[in-house]
Structure 1
Amino acid sequence: MTGASFDRVEELFADLFPLTRSLTGNGVRQTLDRLSDVTPLNVRTVPSGTPVYDWEVPPEWNIRDAYVTDSSGKRVVDFADSNLHVVNYSVPVDVELSFDELSEHLHTLPGMPDAIPYRTTYYERDWGFCIRHDTLEAMDEDETYEVYIDSDLDPEGELTYADAKIEGESEREYIISTYCCHPSLANDNLSGLILATLLFELLRQGSTHHSYRLIVVPETIGAISYLHEHENAMKTVDGGYVVTTVAGRGTFDYKESFEGDHPVDMAARWALAGDEYDEHEFAPTGSDERQYGTPGFRIPTGTIAKDKYYEYDAYHTSKDDLSFVSSEALLKTFDRYARAINLLETDRVYERVDPHCEFKLDRHDLHPTTGGQKKQPGHLKGEDHESFEYRLDDGEAASGDVFDAINWLMFGCDGETTLFQLANRSGMNPRTLHRAACELVDAGLLEESA
């Protein structure tokens, strides 16, 4: 698990949490610059005003300061205290207002009176402040307030995103996608940014059988822009994961892809086997699975989460801070993603060199010569033909009856059936099937199909 240490996760949380991220702007650039220290990223831009399918890239938003002061000059609300205090994408404001006039632009959570809500106004030119309901209750309704927001929306700005790719040997490509537009919200989705980047760096340290593409974009408009900019390449992607809300202290969650039984779903479920987790059916809501799954692309993506979005009270509030997440929880989710990808690496298609009847295994040193035993255990003697290796708590890696695996492979390797399909039908661990397949390849009895 090189690079995904407790100390490194702690450092990334501390460095990235304070940054004011949005759809565009300096906070996104600063975030991508810091993540480039973890793994090399290609940082790219799309100019504001660019048409992307039915959308248009918005002006670039940056904010420097904002506050509300009473008549004594006391700051009742101060952007310096929390970047959640200002509605994201607020226009500049410098005005004096009565309490009644100001209250139309104040957002609170009466049911969570000590929490600051997170609100945006990306596509309507408006402004507002998000404050604790306790603060609102304490304000003097007879006061006049000075309201100031030092921001700008640059129509000649840009949307910034990043990607990177590992070229594998097979024709399959999987994406690891995450989003970088939320300000100081630790689980949603600073945790996903950290995990996805560390996971890609783990893959980059070795060679992989399949290709993998890391995508770091502002949610929705960023994914739409990315698909528009890389349309042809993305139409050939086989599947992937949208990495979000991965460091809460509750149980695991899995949101399945729109197919429900795609290899990314099977790999995720096997990776979570033995864990307590809640499974969620696909719905065209949530994160960027909505964009990847549209008819023009149909990329099945799943999400392994820990305190999934929508499912925890602190979601989209100031309570989603560094005390809500933990590096230990993030590393546990990291482990499940790494296991899932390790399993995807084993999902291959093989074809028998001679498709007729069983092989005489003892001729190839694959079966003990003494007969009469039931479920002969077999053995593994050769290279396992794997490049990407992930072993943390992966006790199931070599479990299972190898002789049974060889029998299933002799039956099922027709150049079309995948190892995951055989695993589902046989109930066997897909890694056991893969290792047995490598034995048969070494013996010259199987060939891997493209």
Structure 2
Amino acid sequence: MHQIMTLTKELCDIKSGVVCDGNEALFRRIGDELPLKIFRYESGQRHNGWIVPDKWSVREANIYKDDKLLYDGTVNALGVAQYSRSFEGELDLETLKKHLFSIPSLPDAHVFHCNWLYRPWENGWGFCPPHRFVDSLKPGKYRVSLKTTFEPGEMLVAHHHIPGKSDNTIVFQSNTCHPHMANDGFSGTAVMIRFFQWLSERDNYYSYRLILCPEHLGTVFYLRDHTASEIDTYLAGVFGEMMGTDGDMVVASTFKGEEVIDRAFRHIVAQTTTKHRFLGFRESVGNDETVWEAPGYEIPFVQVNRFQTHSEPFWGYHTNYDNIDIIKPELLEEFFIVFQGVIELLENNVLMHRKFDGLVALSNPEYDIYLERFDPSKSAIRDNEYNNKWGVLQDSVVRYFEGNMSVLDIAEKHDLNFFDVRQYIQKFADKDLIDISLQQIRRTPAQRVALEESK
């Protein structure tokens, strides 16, 4: 299936993070698929309270009791809470447990604890052992030897840009900061990479940009360095993750809702699968749409994923169980198909401008556009509801040719498939009854108080 699974596994095999040496290898591998422009942000950079963290490494992460080594946090990549500070000392069991993070319902899993990456001022430390290990600990004294290092590094952000006839751009984004994780991470990245390879072979009206970066932090600093005029070229976007495990396909709307990007995703998803949910802004398991929609940017962003509950989006969420084995390739393929459909819709959502007055005899062989309604003299089988909808559309369609109603408007009003309606409308253009023009996506300019025109 477009080799999405193979690429997902290869990306998962590379150690990545917010600031991590492995990010160089990660983007080299992605660069084999798509040419990338890399942006680098040094540790310590600040913006609106956000801080690019230092590069963090674990040298030793041991827990002892009676001089016996009970736990080595370096064995598993998630064995130590991310961005933990060093600690040496002796603790009783009650105090030690305050620094052990585990999930009782997944007794053998290691948790991905990442809060301190985004809050480096908290100076915390901890281990992420399996809950079964935590339960096995007996009262008494424990010795902890946790040695970590912090040194200046770089956070990497990458984008791939496909220019279209227009500079106005639609953005797709996925994250790269969850080490070795497949569903909440690299399966979505792989889907978008394969999708952009397909997109690059099209003759597009809009420009398209794929952005791959650590969630929140990457987007915050990436947009910080945009000029106001660059921000204005972004029409809309989508953040995608958690695509490959069981659950409804979920579309969370833009902040305002009812933007063209909202309507396009709703229409295509509803046509693609019956297992879907449409939610409001941030009612899903959210992500970087909050950055894009922030005041001063206000770029309409939808968020797509599959999740079961907010507390447990999928089995193995934020643990080492989130690996390639839990991914279902057919579910990734379904998102690929949805992305294709959304772009085909946006690139073909035309307005109609009539070149005639009065009622046209559509059944005349000169036009041959008439859709037969049920006629008992010709058929004993009554038309179904779908055919009746087409009959109503046919009787109304010529009133939609004033240049103010798009194909998507018509499809939504009559509860019909966009592409079927678009094909029908094309017949009128082919008979020179109408001219058609693309309904260009527009957005309301953001209200800015601090964004400079140039950096």
State if a TM-score over 0.5 links the two structures. yes
Among candidates 393, 403, 425, match of residue 415 of structure 1: 403
Alignment of 1:73-152 (within 5 A): 74=69, 76-80=71-75, 82-91=76-85, 93=86, 95-100=88-93, 102-120=96-114, 121-122=116-117, 123=119, 124=121, 125-152=123-150
Among candidates 34, 40, 62, match of residue 39 of structure 1: 34
Alignment of 1:5-84 (within 5 A): 5=2, 8-52=3-47, 54-63=48-57, 65-70=59-64, 72=67, 74=69, 76-80=71-75, 82-84=76-78
1:366 maps onto 2:367 in alignment? yes
Among candidates 255, 272, 293, match of residue 258 of structure 1: 255
What residue in structure 1 maps to residue 343 of structure 2? 341
1:435 maps onto 2:423 in alignment? yes
Residue 441 of structure 1: how far off its partner (Å): 4.0
CA 1:85–1:373 in structure 2 vs 1: closer, same or farther (change >3 Å)? Answer: closer
Residue 226 of structure 1: how far off its partner (Å): 1.8
What residue in structure 2 maps to residue 161 of structure 1? 157
**Alignment gaps of 5+ in structure 2:** 376-386, 441-455
Deviates more, 1:326-335 or 1:436-445: 436-445
Alignment of 1:190-209 (within 5 A): 190-209=186-205
Deviates more, 1:309-318 or 1:241-250: 309-318
CA 1:144–1:276 in structure 2 vs 1: closer, same or farther (change >3 Å)? Answer: closer
Distance in 2, Cα, partners of 1:109 & 1:159: 30
Distance in 2, Cα, partners of 1:181 & 1:338: 26
| 1:58-100 per-position Cα deviation (integer Å, ceiling 9, x unaligned) | 23324254421425563613323x2111222223x26343354
Q: Is the 8 A contact 1:402 1:432 kept in 2?
A: no
What residue in structure 1 maps to residue 437 of structure 2? 448
What residue in structure 2 maps to residue 238 of structure 1? 235
What residue in structure 1 maps to residue 218 of structure 2? 222
Deviates more, 1:173-182 or 1:95-104: 95-104
Letter in 2 for 1:135: F
- SS of residue in 2 equivalent to 1:108: coil
- SS of residue in 1 equivalent to 2:24: helix
Q: Is the 8 A contact 2:248 2:308 kept in 1?
A: no
Aligned-residue sequence identity (percent) comes to 21
Distance in 2, Cα, partners of 1:249 & 1:434: 33
Letter in 1 for 2:88: V
What residue in structure 1 maps to residue 288 of structure 2? 288
| 1:15-40 per-position Cα deviation (integer Å, ceiling 9, x unaligned) | 22243332222233322222222222
Residue 223 of structure 1: how far off its partner (Å): 1.2
Distance in 2, Cα, partners of 1:283 & 1:119: 22
Q: Is the 8 A contact 1:355 1:414 kept in 2?
A: no
Q: Is the 8 A contact 1:405 1:428 kept in 2?
A: no
| 1:280-326 per-position Cα deviation (integer Å, ceiling 9, x unaligned) | 22227720111112232222222332336833342222332323222
Q: Is the 8 A contact 1:66 1:86 kept in 2?
A: no
Residue 133 of structure 1: how far off its partner (Å): 1.6
1:181 maps onto 2:177 in alignment? yes
What residue in structure 2 maps to residue 392 of structure 1? none
Letter in 1 for 2:9: A
- SS of residue in 2 equivalent to 1:238: strand
Distance in 1, Cα, partners of 2:418 & 2:113: 45
Distance in 2, Cα, partners of 1:56 & 1:403: 57
Distance in 2, Cα, partners of 1:296 & 1:308: 33
Deviates more, 1:96-105 or 1:194-203: 96-105
| 1:245-280 per-position Cα deviation (integer Å, ceiling 9, x unaligned) | 101133322222223322222222222224212332
1:425 maps onto 2:425 in alignment? no
What residue in structure 2 maps to residue 277 of structure 1? 276
Q: Is the 8 A contact 1:167 1:210 kept in 2?
A: yes
Q: CA RMSD in A?
A: 3.2
Letter in 1 for 2:104: P
| Pairs aligned (count) | 415
Q: Is the 8 A contact 2:252 2:303 kept in 1?
A: yes
Q: Is the 8 A contact 1:402 1:433 kept in 2?
A: no
TM-score, scaled relative to structure 2 = 0.80
- SS of residue in 2 equivalent to 1:14: helix
Q: Is the 8 A contact 2:60 2:147 kept in 1?
A: yes
What residue in structure 2 maps to residue 301 of structure 1? 301
| 1:119-152 per-position Cα deviation (integer Å, ceiling 9, x unaligned) | 1212233322111121122235435434233432
Residue 360 of structure 1: how far off its partner (Å): 6.5
Deviates more, 1:123-132 or 1:187-196: 123-132
- SS of residue in 2 equivalent to 1:74: strand
Distance in 2, Cα, partners of 1:426 & 1:241: 27
Distance in 2, Cα, partners of 1:297 & 1:366: 48
Q: Is the 8 A contact 1:247 1:307 kept in 2?
A: no
